[in-house]
Each structure stands twice: as C-alpha cells, then as structure tokens.
Amino acid sequence: MRRCRATLLAVLTVALTVGGVLFLRTQVEDGTRANAATATAAATTSETVPTTTVDVPAEPATAVVPEHVGPPSDRTRLRLIRRVTGDIAPKSVAASGAGLITAQNMMYRHSVTVYSARTMKLVATISDSVKLAQFGIKGHPGTSQGAPVEAAFSPDGQYGYVSNYSMYGAGFGPEGSDTCTPESGYDDSFLYRINMESLKIDGVYPVGSVPKVVKATPDGRFVLVANWCSWDLSVLSAETGRELQRVPIGPYPRGIVVSPKGNAVYVAMMGGTKLVRVDLNTWKTRTIEIGAGPRALEFSPQGRYIYATLNSEGNVARLDLYTGRVLRVQTGSAPRSLVMSSDGKALYVVNYDSGTVSKIRTRDMTVTQELDACVRPIGVTYDAHLARVWVACYGGELLVFNDR
C-alpha cells in the first residue's frame, strides 16, 4: 500500500510469541483506544518493580535547565491563543530551543514545516525529497522521499534531526507498518539532519527499520533513534553521523529520555510493560517495570522520576527510581505524547481519542486542567522561552497555548 492508513485503528493488545519470546503487541500509531474515559484528580499508586532488586538508582542532575519564564507552572492556566493551519498533517511538533518550532508531516505531506516561536507564523516548508547519491548512499538513484515522523535538536539548536517512517523511491521496498517484527523485512530508513540556519537538509544517516522517536544527548555526543520494526536503538555520532552502536531493545521501541547526568538513556518498550535502560558508556541494558504500553517519556530535572504515558492503560505514570514505586493518574482516552515545563512542576499530555489536553501537577500527579483541543491530538512540545505549549493535531492543525 502506497500510503499508511489515515483512519483510526482500534487498539489491539494481544499476547504474541516471536522467536520463543512472549510480548504484548499494541497497534497504536495511527489511532488507539485506551480504557480511560475521563480525567480524574486523584492518583493511585502501584509497585511494579520486582521485590528482589530496585532496578535503577536515580541519576544525579548535571544538565542545564532553561530558565523558567513567568510564575511557577503549577500555578498557571493554559489558554489557547492560536490555531495554525495550512498544508500540514502533523504527527509531531518540536521546539528547537532557539526560536523555531517544527511540525513533522509524515508521508501525507512529505514535509517539515517551520514556524517562528514568537510570531507563530510559517517560516519555511522543507521537502523531504533528497538525492541520496549526493550524500554517498548507493542503490537509490534519482530522487527519494521520506516520511518525517519525529524531530529533536542539537543542544545549541543549530541542527534538527528528523526520523523518516519509510523511504520512497528507487530501490526501496514496501512501506513500513506499525505491526511488524525484525523478520518482517521492511527496509532500514534514514535520519535527516537539517541546518536550522539555512533550513536545508545537509545530512542523511542510515538507521533501523521504521524509526520513530529521536533524541540528542545533552553533551552533544550522540543522536539516538528508536527503530520500531527492527526493535532496537541506533546510536549515532553527532559529529560524523556514523552509527556507533545498534542496541537491542525489544518489541516496539518508542519514547526516549536521557538521564540529566547524560550517562544513560531510557527507552519505552511499547509492546510490553517495561522501560529499557541503556548505559551510554558500556552499552549494557536492563529493564524496569512501569505499566502497559509505555509510549512517551520525560525526566524530572533532578533525575529522580521518569514520567510516561501508558497508552494501553490510559494512564500517565511517575516512576520513582529510588524506590521503584509507580504513581498513576488517568487523564483522557489514549494519552499519547507528553512534555514537561521548564521548571519541572507541570506536565502537558495530549489524549488522542478524547481530543483533549491535560495538565498535571508533578508534585502529586494531580490533573489540574483539561481542555478540549482538536481531532486526534498526537504531539506536544514546550517552548521554554515563551512558556507556550504547542499541540500537533493529526487532522491538520497546530494549537498554541500560553501558560504564564
């Protein structure tokens, strides 16, 4: 099929056995139904780490946190100030930290659209068409197209890194799928590097099959890519673009978060109930229980807690790395992406099926606000310099909220 299905997919969480390994499979990416009908203000706790060990000690914080603008975010209220439309179908939205916002429009528009964070106006539309031979990549003559799905930025905001769900053109096989295993045979894809000054693609780097979330480490050494169908993590040199490691993760790697200290990365294994911790010095891994269908991740500034959307449960979770305890709260139906305020006092969550945005106070995991948003809100980012929250709506718009 030339195009991914744009219609909603029902949730399918079933036990599968692949190569003798039992795992949960969750069909999630174009649409998901979760068992969370309404938001609640009360959080519940559960212990999910095995009693024999506490899997991970907290990481000491060393990363520089952007200066927070305005009052503490747990005392402010979200207010919609702009609806941005145009020739877009955004799967995600990302703030560069240097005055620009990008929306990744998948294969539906074959583009990345770039906006001024301050004026909220379109600055540029970047086509995902490239001539791979110009980047030293053989076997794909002529022009190829990508499918921009997620983005991240270098610590200084100079470069943007964009993952491509699939590639299209000479030498490429069938389009990727959300239902797959490493044996499915889907092509490996490519990560684009965009120069954020010229707003042109200036690097193309091979990664795994159906790449999704991408993150740059705070020290600028690595770019990390979660490969959905090859069930692994690509670790690239930010300097050269060369893949340094390919780390096995398990079924459906999705969310990525780097510890504030920068020595470890945590990957959400959306096809199960665990996070995978990868040591960025030794490349050793270990798993941590958190809940069913973890999708998006955020770290607390001090490094004690990891926050996750649990897509299969319809909850947002806070994992305490000191004790292994998990605190959960319901937001809306099918919580997908989340982002944290620059002072660490609030989370913003988009609920795909209920079409809402929820704000959570991190101190006690209480939902303090829920707003109607749009049809299929799927991505969210926070612009620390202006205290604004941007929401990507799969139906074809971006929403901008003030929170100050």
Is the residue at 115 inside a domain?
Answer: yes
Q: Which domain holds residue 164?
A: 13-402
Tokens of 340: 């944290």
Q: For residue 205, is it within any domain?
A: yes
Say if residues 398 and 390 touch (Cβ distance below 8 Å). yes
Closest CA to 278 of 230, 245, 301, 242: 245
SS3 of 404, please? coil
SS3 assignment, position 133: helix
- pTM reported for the whole predicted model: 0.87
The torsion of the CA quartet 322, 327, 332, 336, rounded to 10 degrees, works out to: 20
Contact 380, 338 (CB under 8 A): yes
Q: What is the CATH number of the domain that holds 239?
A: 2.130.10.10
User: How far apart, in whole angstroms, are the C-alpha atoms of residue 178 and residue 107?
Assistant: 14
What residue type is assigned to position 132 of the chain?
Answer: L
Domain membership flag for residue 110: yes
Task: Please state whether beta strands 122-127 and 111-116 pair in parallel, antiparallel, or not at all (unpaired).
Answer: antiparallel
**pLDDT digits (tens), the chain, 404 positions:** 444 433 333 333 334 444 334 444 444 454 333 333 333 334 444 444 433 334 444 443 344 456 788 899 999 999 999 999 999 999 999 999 999 999 999 999 999 999 999 999 999 999 999 999 999 999 999 999 999 999 999 999 999 999 999 999 999 999 999 999 999 999 999 999 999 999 999 999 999 999 999 999 999 999 999 999 999 999 999 999 999 999 999 999 999 999 999 999 999 999 999 999 999 999 999 999 999 999 999 999 999 999 999 998 999 999 999 999 999 999 999 999 999 999 999 999 999 999 999 999 999 999 999 999 999 999 999 999 999 999 999 999 999 999 99
* Number of domains into which the chain is organized: 1
Q: Residue 186 has which token pair? A: 């889907």
Classify residue 180: in a domain, yes or no.
yes
In a domain, 4, yes or no: no
Q: Specify if 8 maps to a domain.
A: no
Q: Is residue 160 part of a domain?
A: yes
Dihedral of alpha carbons 283, 287, 288, 289, sign: positive
| Phi, psi values for residue 184, rounded to 5° | -70, -25
- Give a yes or no: residue 7 inside a domain: no
